[in-house]
Chain A
Amino acid sequence: MIEVVRSGPLATVQDLGRAGYAHLGVPHSGAADRPSLCLANRLVGNDEGAAGLELTFGGAALRFDAGAWIAVTGAPLPVRPGTMNAPFHVPAGTVVEFGAPSSGVRTYVAVRGGVEVEPVLGSRSTDVLSGLGPPPLSAGDRLGRGHATGPITVDVAPVPEPETEPVLRIAPGPRDDWFESLEPLTRAAYEVTAQSNRVGVRLEGPALTRRREGELPSEGMVTGSLQVPPNGLPIIFLADHPTTGGYPVAAVLAADDVPRAAQLRPGQRVRFRLTGP
């Protein structure tokens, strides 16, 4: 078993989420930075879709009743004992302490065999919007472990350097015609606000101007959408975004840039670059 000694600001169980239920109003959910969870799983010989832990701003401590292989990826932070982006073995009784990340927001912990909690609609992910899946972790929680399927073959994984002011690629639409122009999006940097969470990244910066009045009839929205409420400031939808929304989406992030958006921290600056439609 793994005992949560401390959860830090927010720690949740995440896998690759609940695809296939969006028509019932079920958010996709899953790891906000999917490639980081997948990497952590590969490092310990798990299927990429095994459940791991998503730590928000680190700060957690985990006690391992039995010896375990674990890997830590995503937002870089001090791990004692251990190291980032490489599998390591923790002996029985060890308490692994996670510090605060020096950049980024979300750190992933994979345990060889995967974290075993009861799946809901095929996923073990905590969805902070709908409440599906296990509640966020708190001190005293005990988590089971499953059985590993593959061997451990990688010593250390190369990862990209943290970005101070990322430039995220966006494609216009589907509702760019609701705005005078998308030019404000690329005019200057936006600043990430403290209201950001797994549902979305909220931004301060140049506001978009509506070209038309009225309300958009609710429609389906994808992860990475830049939804623009009446104040004109875009919200980047992350894993727990609602399946449908009533504000127009001016542009959508390139799918590969969604995990980078999921590592944006409050106060950090971010820019957008328009690519072809």
Chain B
Amino acid sequence: MKVLRAGDAALLVETETPHRLHAAVRALGRTEIVDVVPGAGTVLVTTAPGTDLGPLGALLGDLPLPETSTAGGEPLRVPVVYDGADLDEVAAITGLTRAQVVERHAAAEYVVAYLGFSPGFGYLTGLDERLHVPRRDSPRTAVPAGSVAIAGPYGAIYPSSSPGGWRLLGRTTLRLWDPDREPPSLLQPGTRVRFEARA
């Protein structure tokens, strides 16, 4: 794996499986590591001031990855009412019917590749290729919390109300993000997710 410097206290490691490398770096349990941040094709490792990045970089570049980053067990099940404002548009773009869009979205198993954009916002990989659609040309100023959405190769569930340009398929009452809960985010890098259609 290629290891790049990100200033004098962080390393950026390129990898095809960020959530697995994220799990492997956490499992090291090294106290000089402050944050481990997976991205779409990288893991950023930030360190305490004064950490010697040379040896750490060598270690990270050769780190063996676990088979899976999840602890096994059942995927997180997310109940969804599929009545999103963009269902018709997605059907038109993909040439599918509304029912087929829903069916394909609910049939897949997803994995949280990484989180970003806002606290608890997970980028879900595993979206059916037929459902890869571009973002809206003009983002909405407010997307409600719990909105189930897609854009490009990713699925997502808006954890809190925010502006957003993703296409809305439905909504869930599941509370993805709660800073008073431990952990605050139901989604972690590597979490498996399934959507279940509800009336």
Contact residues of A with B, CB < 8 Å?
A: 19-26, 28, 120-121, 130-132, 171, 173-175, 217-222, 224-225, 242-244, 249, 252-255, 277
Closest B residue to A22 by CB, please name it: B35
Chain B nearest Cβ from A30, distance in angstroms:
12
A35 to B115, CA, bound (A): 30
Q: B8 near A: Cβ within 8 Å?
A: yes
Residues of chain A within 8 A (CB-CB) of B7 are 171, 222, 224-225, 252-255
By the criterion of a CB under 8 Å from any partner CB, how many residues of chain B are at the interface?
38
Determine if B39 and A219 form an interchain contact, defined as CB atoms under 8 angstroms apart. Answer: yes
Determine if A23 and B39 form an interchain contact, defined as CB atoms under 8 angstroms apart. Answer: no
Q: B184 near A: Cβ within 8 Å?
A: yes
Determine if A24 and B34 form an interchain contact, defined as CB atoms under 8 angstroms apart. Answer: no
Determine if B8 and A23 form an interchain contact, defined as CB atoms under 8 angstroms apart. Answer: no
Q: B157 near A: Cβ within 8 Å?
A: no
Chain A nearest Cβ from B134, distance in angstroms:
12
Determine if B120 and A219 form an interchain contact, defined as CB atoms under 8 angstroms apart. Answer: no
State which of A20, A23, A242, A244 has its C-beta within 8 Å of the C-beta of B188.
A23
A132 to B185, CA, bound (A): 14
Given the interface pairs A20-B34, A218-B39, A244-B37, the reply to whether A25 lies near B44 with Cβ below 8 Å is no
Determine if A242 and B117 form an interchain contact, defined as CB atoms under 8 angstroms apart. Answer: yes
Bitwise, B32-48 to A at CB < 8 A (1) or not (0) is 00111111111110100
Q: B195 near A: Cβ within 8 Å?
A: no
A224 to B5, CA, bound (A): 13
Chain B nearest Cβ from A128, distance in angstroms:
13
